[in-house]
Structure 1
Amino acid sequence: MISNMDTHEASESNDVIVIQDIPAGIIFGYDARSYPILKKAIYGGIRQVPKGVHFVWAGSSHNSLRTGFWLMTSEERNWLFAKRWDPEQEVLINNDKLKQSSLVVPEFFLGLHPYHETPTGASGGSDILSRLPNIWYNLTSSINGVMLSRITSNSTVNNWYVSTTHEYTEKRETQQAGFSISEKDEVLSFIFPKETRTYTQDAIGRERTKQAMDTSNHVTTIINDVCDSGDYTEIVGELQFCYITGMILGNVACMEHWIHVVKIVFRAFKLTLDSPIFFKKFIEAIHTQFLFDDVGIDGSIFDFDNSLAQDLKIILIKFKSEFDQLVALQQNLTDDQKAVCKGFEEFEQSLLTFHNGWNLQANYVRSGRIQMEDGEYVDAEMTDFQAEDERGEFAPAVVELDDDGREKGLISF
């Protein structure tokens, strides 16, 4: 990286991303846009990069491996982010030699592609950017440099490397192990715990069932005890990081973590009114990702798991039902609570045209008689919401029986 490029008029108020030796056939992407490299170029890249969070990546068209770097720019200085393509490993790597290159002249920078201009030929993201030019900002609104250093376990600013093969560990696991993770280990560290049990160990009976059905207490504990200084935006930022890194690079660990966080938080019904600012940001993040999904990128988050679309649709139907009941019982809503209602209403409206339409007001009958097309009535039972009835103290449990068929460990009188 080169700072203080005051001698280059073309980049006095903007940053530059340069990729050296990128061959034809490579898919190159930056932020919400991507395009194929049609002919080999000694130098390629982007100029007039605006201030903020950015993601640059590349991958071979005949190789499933993709690599990229998260970058942060600021108003304080101008940067040249220098990377190059390694033909042997087929990955993006740092390019420190460009710092001394004689090619760092104004004419060189003017030959780079302007950030906001649509590339010639086929390109990903052009359609969504024409309709929603600020979507990249909305996709990354809660991501910052401190978070990127923590997730990638790399404290070097603007060297936040990620790849398709990066794996996942919890922040607490890394600390307990007593070692530091190097970049070569390719491990991502998330703060949101991966455990699915959402009730405390000392909760019993009705309280245990309540905590299992409503994850508000669980999510609140994560915010207060795991997030730095109770900063709930870390959860939103982590969600944004996982969606972008997971979808663009095909990183399985990120996609799995995204799914896990979404399923847990959308069961935190009480938290919608108890922590409305957090929940509004969370809903807005998901809403933006759904707008970008399958339009701004090649593929969808739902391609990862065939049952995910149906699972998430059921979760959102349940969420809407519980949320509407809570709002109806609230006599006077605060401005922040009203903002949550509006945010979810806008999200729900957009879902009507998402993936053949998601109607969250659909009535799901758990059991009863259904009339078939030929007029015949049959007894039927819907199992979609069966899991909602089998949590907490009512969850099925495996027990060991004695020779008489009774549960072992019971007290006899």
Structure 2
Amino acid sequence: MTSVSPSPTILVPHLPPKTLVGIDLITFTSTPNFHGIRDLPAGWHFLYTGTTESLSLRCGGWFFVGDIHPFGAYKKDESALVPAQHANSAPDVIVWRWNTDTETLTPLRASSDADKQKAMRHKANLGAIWQRGGLFSYRSRVSSLVQEAGRPAQFEIDEEDEAEGRQNWLDLTNRLSPGLLSRVVGDASVDVDGRSRWMVTSASTAQRDSDDIPGLTDTAQAAEELEKVMGEKESEFSFLPIDLKRTWREGAIGRERTEAAQDRSWALGDLVQQFSDADGEAQVLGELQFTFLMVLTLMNYSCLQQWKRLLELVLTCRNAIRDRESFMRDVLRLLLLQLKRCDDVEGGLFDLDGEEGGEFLRRLLMRFRRSLYEVVDGTESVVKSEFEKLEAWVKDEYDWELNREVFVRRGMVQLEDGEEVELDMHDNDEDDELGEYAPMVVDLEEGSAQGGEDSDDN
């Protein structure tokens, strides 16, 4: 057998044909000859499977290719440490086996001697698998199929497009870390070579997003049933705690409380300060990346809700535009890149959100634009520069007009029969304190006196 110098490869032996397989931003259906993916670039990757292309539970795992040592060991508690790989290790050859009972990919574990022998056998057979064409070369985007007369069909690779796709994936995952994944997903499982894997499913959820109906839903029993299907215990998401109904400090009253409800910069700062300042901002950005990608690949409902909560918190801040300029710039840059990938979700990302669709984001961006231009007041700002790119893109792609000043909010409209009626737009009444959100003056003394008279009458 010819000696082959292995590139970073993930082997998935005995995967049934016609299984949905996804790696990062592409999906395909496995063939009988498919045994794995080679030429994995360094960095984070997410591999997942589903028994069918739709309407089936999707299960996957995060893993890192290359030297994970610079991240350092993450200590969740005194006994939980994520092992670190070393830079001088051999090229990664990762083996995940197909579990026929649970219909999921599971890593070969270091605690099992049988798994260790299987890993050695599969690695020793790598050259033969390569020569048989059983390894799919990693691609960041779907290649075009070209058919020429008299020649077999081949995939045409646009190197420039491929380089852009890899850079996009890098920009979508550059804030992830072992610490963040362990905080959100739970402790990693470790394979025979000491590599970490963080498992997520389309059914994974945070407690606040789970439907707990007394008499109908037994949370413990549901978790046990899912564990039987998955073959391992399903962990609960531990997202950053965001309460959009209370965005002021303990003990705040009056004007301070009102301002904190309208400008959520204090709540953002309080969230960030749960970690060190720089790490706290990285945690928010990393969670924005994680939740979005889990919606994109697994269509996970709980991650969609947390993604929306994070955006609503950040995009309703005013002081943070000036005080956390680089952070706000990075959020807008990331959001634009994420929106460009929304169509990767079957049916589109916004269609997963029911009737509201993308309206929640359009309203948030309109409100943020108003705050941004009031804060920067004509001065140069990196936040303003990034927002203008985002604004131009959503205008071109979705036809969203984010400048409220161009809308006529009240006017006369002529109907088909010639009758004229006055129309009034109530969008953003909450921000302007108009309509049902308008302040009301109440005479407490008069109300108290009236209450007393009514009591006497009764």
Q: Does 1:236 align with 2:285?
A: yes
Give the C-alpha shift of residue 321 in structure 1: 1.2
After TM superposition, the structure 1 = structure 2 runs for residues 64-79 of structure 1, keeping only pairs within 5 Å, are 64-75=56-67, 76=87, 77=89, 78-79=91-92
The match for 1:91 among 104, 108, 124 is 104
Change (3 A) 1:146 1:191: same
Match of 1:359 in 2: 401
> Please, which runs of 5 or more residues in structure 1 have no aligned partner?
1-6, 171-181, 397-401, 408-413
SS in 2 for 1:167: coil
Asked if 1 retains the 8 angstrom alpha-carbon contact of 2:35 and 2:129, the reply is no
Match of 1:139 in 2: 172
The structure carrying a bigger strand percent of its residues is 1
Change (3 A) 1:405 1:292: farther
Match of 1:60 in 2: 51
Give the C-alpha shift of residue 395 in structure 1: 8.4
What TM-score do you get using the length of structure 2 for normalisation?
0.72
Give the C-alpha shift of residue 59 in structure 1: 0.6
What TM-score do you get using the length of structure 1 for normalisation?
0.79
After TM superposition, the structure 1 = structure 2 runs for residues 13-412 of structure 1, keeping only pairs within 5 Å, are 14-37=7-30, 39-41=31-33, 44-61=35-52, 63-75=55-67, 76=87, 77=89, 78-96=91-109, 97=115, 98-102=118-122, 103-109=124-130, 111=133, 112-116=135-139, 118=142, 132-133=164-165, 134-156=167-189, 157-169=195-207, 184-226=233-275, 230-294=279-343, 296-305=344-353, 306-328=355-377, 333=380, 338-355=381-398, 357-363=399-405, 368-372=410-414, 374=416, 376-389=419-432, 406=451
Which of the pair has more CA radius of gyration?
A: 2
Give the C-alpha shift of residue 208 in structure 1: 1.3
Change (3 A) 1:8 1:32: farther
Task: Measure, in 2, the Cα distance between the counterparts of 1:207 and 1:366.
Answer: 33
Give the alignment's Cα RMSD to 1 decimal. Answer: 3.3
After TM superposition, the structure 1 = structure 2 runs for residues 5-16 of structure 1, keeping only pairs within 5 Å, are 9-11=4-6, 14-16=7-9
- The letter for the 2-side match of 1:100 is M
SS in 1 for 2:171: helix
Match of 2:70 in 1: none
Give the C-alpha shift of residue 256 in structure 1: 0.8
Give the C-alpha shift of residue 300 in structure 1: 2.4
Percentage of matched positions with identical amino acids: 23
Task: Measure, in 2, the Cα distance between the counterparts of 1:272 and 1:57.
Answer: 37
Task: Measure, in 1, the Cα distance between the counterparts of 2:179 and 2:235.
Answer: 18
Give the C-alpha shift of residue 140 in structure 1: 1.0
Give the C-alpha shift of residue 292 in structure 1: 0.7
Task: Measure, in 2, the Cα distance between the counterparts of 1:227 and 1:189.
Answer: 18
Task: Measure, in 1, the Cα distance between the counterparts of 2:439 and 2:251.
Answer: 17
SS in 2 for 1:146: helix
Give the C-alpha shift of residue 215 in structure 1: 0.7
Give the C-alpha shift of residue 227 in structure 1: 5.9
SS in 1 for 2:59: strand
- The letter for the 2-side match of 1:40 is P
- The letter for the 2-side match of 1:90 is E
